[in-house]
Amino acid sequence: MATDLPPTRSVQLLEEPRLLKLKKMFVSKFQSTPKFYARAPGRVNLIGEHIDYCGYSVLPMAIEQDILIAAEPLSTPVIHLANANASYVDFSTNADNVEINQTKPSWHNYFLCGFKGIEDHFSLDRPSGMNCLVEGTIPASSGLSSSSALVCCAGLVTLLANGKTLSKVELAELCTKSERYIGTEGGGMDQSICFLAEKGTAKLIEFSPLRATDVRLPRGVAFVIANSCIEMNKAATSHFNIRVMECRLATKLLAKSKGLDWKAMAKLQDVQVALKLGLEEMLTVVEEVFHPEPYGIEEIGEHLGISPKELCAQILSQNTRDVTVFKLYQRAKHVYSEAARVLEFKKICEEAPVDAIQSLGDLMNQSHASCRDLYECSCPELNQLVDICLRFGAVGSRLTGAGWGGCTVSMVPADKLERFLANVKEAYYKNSEQRLTLDENSLFATNPGSGAIVFLEA
């Protein structure tokens, strides 16, 4: 079905100042004109943190901030990448021999992830070369999915440059796998909302099979994003991938303790499905099976009946093999409780009870507490920002994205929004020179935006 493909729209550039500006920069840079433009949005996750890679549903929405690429396919097998932001240096490489450096996640490597994903999927012998100019309005390393948006936008550009087609679902799944070229073991939320988002609605994203369901957010509230101004790059630090491995190890131990085929299970949802239990019941199982103290490699190996060496080689990812301590109880408890909160959030939005806004706020607050205390993916600045947001009228506030920096999302009654923004600005941003510098794009209300799209000049 045509509606399953990313939309294409013909536009008059005079009516699209941003595209017109990008075209002028492109012409100045490459002495030629773009053949098309692609846009991929960032996202804010309202609830459901660090559970997509465990198989569980999440509830994000696309935001207006995005990645935009002006592109021109070339007859020569060369990729020329330039960025509208002068702090990101130009990059060129041979399209027939793309290599991605995991040890140094520079901006161009995320583009190359999207390129390589398409190249490998279609087994392209001679992938098209390209001139590409990238421009973005998503703050980098802010937890609003700037890196995944770049991967998705690059995948879409490469698809078009090579005359291929894929559905939105296929593109989302392919770009999820593609980002692993740079070493990020993500679960697919960012790429899915990037392609499946629709203006005016949040989405419940479910996996295996991938599908998106509209979630109508309550009227009378605004969702406000506040940047802690602490950057965290998922691929540049081990925190994220260690959590993925802790969940994988917790899956193996739970499965083994219940007599299941632990080698065949990689996600915490696999265990729940096999045991045919509800999420509340899984929390009871977690209490029965795990002790709260951290587990060492030897103890985990003993439970599974394998040596520490086998455990490292067979289960751990290459960039987590030097880790010796894992908190399995805390991570599993967070995942199962957070998965339940997502379903409850959707249910409240659907049923719209009288106390819906307060109930949704409570769920967001519980989510942040779990991220802070059980998953340990917050940081002092995020906690401070959440406290400030709650103090000045947010009904609910939580970190959003991977954490360890980045942004919070707060649900604020619409009639309190203006005062809320002024108070948070004063309390968090005015007392720091660095935050004041970043202030302009650090605090804003947002509405559910649309997904990835291709623009053609009319």
Of the candidates 338, 262, 328, the residue with the CA atom closest to the CA atom of residue 289: 328
The amino acid that residue 241 corresponds to is N
User: Helix-strand-coil percent breakdown of the chain, rounded to 5?
Assistant: 45, 20, 35
Burial 369-399 (b: 16+ CB within 10 A, else e): ebbbebbbbbbebbbebbebbbebbbbbbbb
Tokens of 390: 């709650």
Parallel/antiparallel/unpaired status of strands 59-74 and 36-47: antiparallel
Q: Distances in Å between the alpha carbon of 238 and those of 60, 99, 317?
A: 24, 21, 11
The amino acid that residue 359 corresponds to is S
What burial class does residue 74 get, using C-beta atoms within 10 Å of its C-beta: 0-12 exposed, 13-18 middle, 19+ buried? middle
List 120, 190, 214, 387, catalytic entry: 190
Distance (Å, rounded) from C-alpha 91 to C-alpha 80? 6
For residue 67, the 8-state DSSP code is E
* Contact criterion met (CB below 8 Å) for 45 and 55: no
What burial class does residue 308 get, using C-beta atoms within 10 Å of its C-beta: 0-12 exposed, 13-18 middle, 19+ buried? middle
Strands (E), 141-291: 202-206, 211-215, 221-227
* Contact criterion met (CB below 8 Å) for 253 and 410: no
Q: Distances in Å between the alpha carbon of 438 and those of 9, 70, 226, 227, 380?
A: 33, 26, 11, 9, 18
Tokens of 226: 């506040």
Of the candidates 133, 150, 108, the residue with the CA atom closest to the CA atom of residue 25: 133
For residue 127, the 8-state DSSP code is P
* Cα 365 to chain centroid, rounded: 20
* Contact criterion met (CB below 8 Å) for 332 and 250: yes
Question: Is residue 96 annotated as a catalytic residue, yes or no?
Answer: no
- The residues, ordered by sequence, that sit 6+ positions from 15 with a Cβ below 8 Å of its Cβ are none
What residues act catalytically?
A: 190
